[in-house]
Copies of this chain bind each other. A is one copy, B any other.
Amino acid sequence: MKPVNIGILGLGTVGKGTVEVLNHNAEEISRRLGRDVNVFMVSTRNVENARRICSEQTLMTTDPFEVVKHPEVDVVVELFGGTEIAKDLVLEAINQGKHVVTANKKLLAEYGNEIFAKAEEKNVMVQFEAAVAGGIPIIKALREGLAANNIRSIVGIINGTSNFILSEMREKGSSFADVLKQAQELGYAEADPTFDIEGHDAGHKITIMSALAFGTPVNFNACYLEGISKLDSRDIKYAEELGYRIKLLGITRKTGKGIELRVHPTLIPEVRLIANVNGVMNAVRVDADMVGETMYYGAGAGSLPTASAVVADIMDISRLITADTGNRVPPLAFQSGEVKEQVILPMDEVVSSYYLRVQVDDEPGVMAQITKLLADEKVSIEALIQKGVIDQSTAEIVILTHSTIEKRVKAVIAGIEQLPCVRGGVTMIRMESLHGRNG
């Protein structure tokens, strides 16, 4: 069969990895696909560097629109990142009738609806396995492997930087600031780490998975984002003493009232498999009505793991290029006419359990005052423990609540913070039990 011609936009980390995967495993890929994948054209700022890794036949340009418009390019691989020029390039590629592979989670979480609509109009495929959890084939699992299920929830460790920081904080008892510095030295965190540690990156990924799972448009603006930069290593230690680990989770869940869509640090029981995913690794746990709980684990970032997903998408497209367009797997898993807006629950309406920590005067009556506030809001207590004595006159209390609606917990916290015996604010971290049908 005729080779499939790809045009790569951007030869950064993932772009170089894509060329390397295609070169290194050319034979393996061709043995599976029955045709070659040809890097026909590349757009890059540095043609000389690009020449070193691409074959002599590969056309080079500094103008990415040349790639997008070239009549012999079958598939455009967008690895620019960001949403400005990348969006124009992807839309123009689709307009030119090219299929698109992208690793750009931000682009899809923010502009996916426009892009998918355009792709449908032009009968082309947009594939994005690399946009979520790097090399883990989770998009394929959600769109195809679990297609017979009503998906109930997805819970993911989907930001490697944050998971590395939390793992180190737990293992070494170090502070957030110290571990962040170490992560930056190791190349696991950017010079400006905001995007990773404040939950934006995880938010883009859970937004995309939520749309795929529940048949809704992508709606990143509705995603609640809370990062790990304010976490105290003391909370990680207390959580561990109580049998929990703290992980930055992306969570999306279908409830009777609407869809939960949120990213925040979360206590999970240490006996759950996902609680034992450490370092920069990612894992996504899916709960679905027929299959129960499944989990997908692997490298969530890095040049070659991400490129592994990019090339798998190129291979999928190569196979489906000649299929009738009505029978392709739709980009958001559901037929476009079946993608429907659903209410995204505001955080006040989310039901969860909670870890609360507060410092108080070490004197009689304090516990009574706090438990009364909880009782007034009908928040029931799973555990109330005096964890530490800060100094002679100050004690530290940790409360674990049972499930309750978040607005009640916020009312309790407001009440506690007004008590004269309380020093400073209340630390609140959400908890997820994650016990499913399969335990």
Are the C-beta atoms of A144 and B326 separated by less than 8 Å?
no
| Min CB–CB distance A90 → chain B (angstroms) | 22
Identify which of A145, A327, A328 gathers the most chain B CB atoms within 10 Å of its CB: A145
| B323 x A324 contact (CB < 8 A) | yes
1/0 per residue, CB under 8 A from B, across A10-21: the answer is: 000000010001
* Interface membership of A319, Cβ < 8 A: yes
Tell me which of A70-78, A275-283, A375-383 binds B.
A275-283
Interface hits, A287-334 → B, CB 8 Å: 288-299, 304-305, 307-312, 315-316, 318-324, 326-330, 333-334
Interface residue tally on A, bucketed by range? 35 or more
- A1 smallest CB distance to B (angstroms): 7
**A305 to B, closest residue via Cβ:** B291
CA distance A119 to B193 in the complex (A): 53
A-B contact pairs, 29 of them (CB 8 A): A21-B148, A25-B148, A29-B147, A29-B148, A32-B330, A32-B334, A32-B335, A129-B145, A135-B292, A137-B141, A137-B144, A140-B140, A140-B144, A145-B309, A147-B311, A273-B273, A273-B276, A273-B297, A279-B439, A290-B311, A291-B304, A292-B305, A295-B296, A295-B297, A296-B297, A319-B328, A320-B327, A322-B324, A322-B327
Partner of A297 from the list B294, B309, B330 (CB cut-off 8 Å) is B294
Is B137 touching A307 in the complex (CB atoms < 8 A)? no
Q: A273-B273, A279-B439 are in contact. Are A294 and B296 (CB under 8 A)?
A: yes
- Does A338 make an interface contact (CB < 8 A)? yes
Q: In angstroms, how far is the closest chain B Cβ from the Cβ of A138?
A: 9
A277 to chain B, nearest CB (A): 7
- Name the residue of chain B whose CB is nearest to the CB of A1: B326
* In contact, A288 and B276 (Cβ under 8 angstroms): no
> Considering the complex, which residues of chain A in the window 346-389 have a beta carbon less than 8 Å from any beta carbon of chain B?
none
Q: In chain A between 133 and 189, which residues have their CB closer than 8 angstroms to a CB of chain B?
A: 134-137, 140-141, 144-150
Determine how close the nearest CB of chain B comes to the CB of A43; give it in whole angstroms: 22
* A31 located at the interface, meaning its Cβ lies under 8 Å from any Cβ of chain B in the complex: yes
Q: How far is the CA of A251 from the CA of B288 in the complex (A)?
A: 29
Given the known A-B contacts A141-B137, A298-B291, A320-B327, are A146 and B308 also in contact in the complex, defined by CB atoms under 8 Å?
A: yes
- Given the complex, which residues of B lie within 8 Å of A31, measured CB to CB? 215, 334-335, 338
Instruction: From the candidates B135, B294, B295, B338, name the one contacting A291 in the complex (CB within 8 A).
Output: B135
Residues of B contacting A215 in the complex (Cβ-Cβ under 8 angstroms): 31-32
The answer to whether B32 and A333 touch across the interface, beta carbons within 8 angstroms, is yes
A148 to B295, CA, bound (A): 21
A49 within 8 A of B: no
A28 touches B (CB below 8 Å): yes
A290 touches B25 (CB 8 A): yes
Q: Determine how close the nearest CB of chain B comes to the CB of A20; give it in whole angstroms.
A: 8
Q: Is A421 an interface residue (CB 8 A)?
A: no
Q: Which of A129, A137, A147 has the most chain B CB atoms inside 10 A of its CB? A: A147
- For A32, the chain B residues whose CB sits under 8 A away are 147, 215, 330, 333-335, 338
A82 to chain B, nearest CB (A): 25
A312 to B294 CA separation, bound complex (whole angstroms): 15
A327 touching B323 by the CB < 8 A rule?
yes
Taking CB atoms, residues of chain B closer than 8 Å to A289 are 24-25
Q: Shortest Cβ distance from A139 into chain B, in angstroms? A: 9
Assess the A291–B273 pair: CB atoms within 8 A.
Answer: no
A148 neighbours in B (Cβ, 8 Å): 21-22, 25, 28-29, 307-312, 315
* A33 contacts chain B at the CB level, 8 A cutoff: yes
Contacts of A150 in B (CB 8 A): 25, 28
Q: Taking the complex as formed, is A438 at the interface, i.e. its CB lies under 8 A from any CB of chain B?
A: yes
Contacts of A243 in B (CB 8 A): none
Chain B: minimal CB distance from A293 (Å): 6
* A425: interface (CB < 8 Å): no
Closest-CB distance, A165 to chain B (whole angstroms): 16
The verdict on A258 contacting chain B, using a C-beta distance below 8 Å, is no
* Other contacts beyond A147-B311, A281-B438, A297-B297: 17, CB < 8 A: A17-B290, A22-B148, A25-B290, A31-B335, A129-B145, A135-B292, A137-B141, A140-B144, A140-B145, A141-B141, A144-B316, A148-B312, A273-B276, A281-B439, A290-B311, A291-B299, A296-B297
